[in-house]
Each structure stands twice: as C-alpha cells, then as structure tokens.
C-alpha cells in the first residue's frame, strides 16, 4: 500500500536526489527549467508517495503564462524511483494531481514529456500546436491537456515563466 501526500518543506533535498537519479545530469538545461525560472512550485499541487519511509515518487507543478496572460499549469518534473517503477505510482500521482488542479479551478496543463506516457491522461500534441516554447524541446514532446472543455481555446502564442 502507498499513500499520496502533499510535499512538505523538508522533502526538498530527497526530491532533488530523486530527480538527479531519474534524469540526465544536464536536466537543468531542459526547456522546462526556463519556464520555472526561479519561481517556487505550486505547493498545493506538489505531491509525493512514500512507502515504508522511503520517498518513492514526486510530482510538481509551476504556473506559466500563455501570451503574457493568466497562468496555465506546467506539469513536472515527475519522477518515480527506479526500484518502484511499474507499480502505478506515476499514474496515481498524475491522476490525483490533475483531479486536484481541476478542483482548484485550473483550466489547462502543459507538459514537456513522453507523449506515449502522457496521452493516457488526456495530453495531446494537437492542443499545444498553437503554443511556442522559449527554446526547442524534443520533437513531439510538447503536450497540453484541457481540464475543462475549451480550457485552451483561443490560447495561443508564447509560453513564458510568470
């Protein structure tokens, strides 16, 4: 059994270690980091899974602007400890956090990630096609999801940090 809980301030160092182990050493050069700038993540949407005292998985979200207008959400990073993969931790964190984001009134979420993974949650390339990133991302990896119908309609232009 595992439980999803909100990230606590003391979890930061262990999450950084998990991210270092889950992504390549140059992860901070990724396009998504430009969009996070020096802003903190959204505390109410940062969740972890701990099992037998071990931090096994983490998901975080940031606010971003589209064409300088009120924020959408940027999902990520999402990471599951290697020995914990394939047991639904990632899916649980994404589904739970998207449901919370909807309850909090957010309308749209962007992600730069693996389309084969994120499409199961409703993310698609077509919803992001009118949006541009501050620097190139891996081809086909820029995806968006509407939390409410039409949440991205008429939203086009540059995505930037808040």
Ligand X SMILES: CC(C)(COP(=O)(O)OP(=O)(O)OC[C@H]1O[C@@H](n2cnc3c(N)ncnc32)[C@H](O)[C@@H]1OP(=O)(O)O)[C@@H](O)C(=O)NCCC(=O)NCCS
- Shortest Cβ 102–ligand X spacing (Å): 19
Q: Which residue has its beta carbon closest to ligand X?
A: 90
Contacting residues toward ligand X, per CB under 6 A: 22-23, 76, 78-80, 85-91, 113-114, 116-117
For β-strands 3-6 and 47-51, DSSP reports them as antiparallel
- Shortest Cβ 10–ligand X spacing (Å): 22
The smaller minimum CB distance to ligand X, of residues 102 and 121, is found at: 121
66 - beta bridge partners? 69, 159
The smaller minimum CB distance to ligand X, of residues 35 and 78, is found at: 78
The set of residues, in sequence order, having a beta carbon less than 8 Å from that of 43 and lying 6+ positions away, is 6, 7
- Shortest Cβ 78–ligand X spacing (Å): 5
Q: Per the structure block, which two tokens stand in for 84?
A: 């914990």
Q: Among the residues of 104-149, which ranges form H helices?
A: 115-118
Q: Which of 113, 111, 109 has its CA nearest to residue 99?
A: 109
Q: How far is CA 87 from CA 26, 35, 53, 113, in A?
A: 27, 30, 17, 20
The smaller minimum CB distance to ligand X, of residues 123 and 155, is found at: 123
- Shortest Cβ 48–ligand X spacing (Å): 13
The smaller minimum CB distance to ligand X, of residues 69 and 91, is found at: 91
């Amino acid at each position: 059994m595992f439980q999803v809980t909100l990230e606590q301030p003391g979890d930061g160092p262990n999450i950084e270690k998990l991210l270092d182990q889950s992504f390549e050493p140059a992860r901070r050069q990724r396009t998504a980091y430009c969009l996070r700038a020096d802003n903190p993540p959204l505390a109410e949407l940062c969740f972890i899974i701990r099992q037998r005292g071990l931090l096994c998985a983490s998901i975080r979200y940031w606010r971003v602007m589209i064409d300088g207008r009120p924020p959408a959400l940027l999902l990520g990073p999402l990471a599951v400890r290697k020995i914990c993969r394939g047991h639904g931790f990632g899916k649980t964190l994404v589904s739970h956090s998207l449901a919370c984001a909807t309850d909090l009134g957010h309308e749209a979420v962007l992600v730069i990630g693996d389309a084969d993974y994120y499409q199961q949650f409703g993310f698609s390339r077509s919803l992001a096609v009118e949006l541009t990133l501050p620097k190139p991302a891996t081809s086909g990896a820029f995806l968006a999801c509407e939390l409410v119908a039409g949440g991205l309609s008429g939203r086009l232009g540059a995505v930037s940090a808040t």
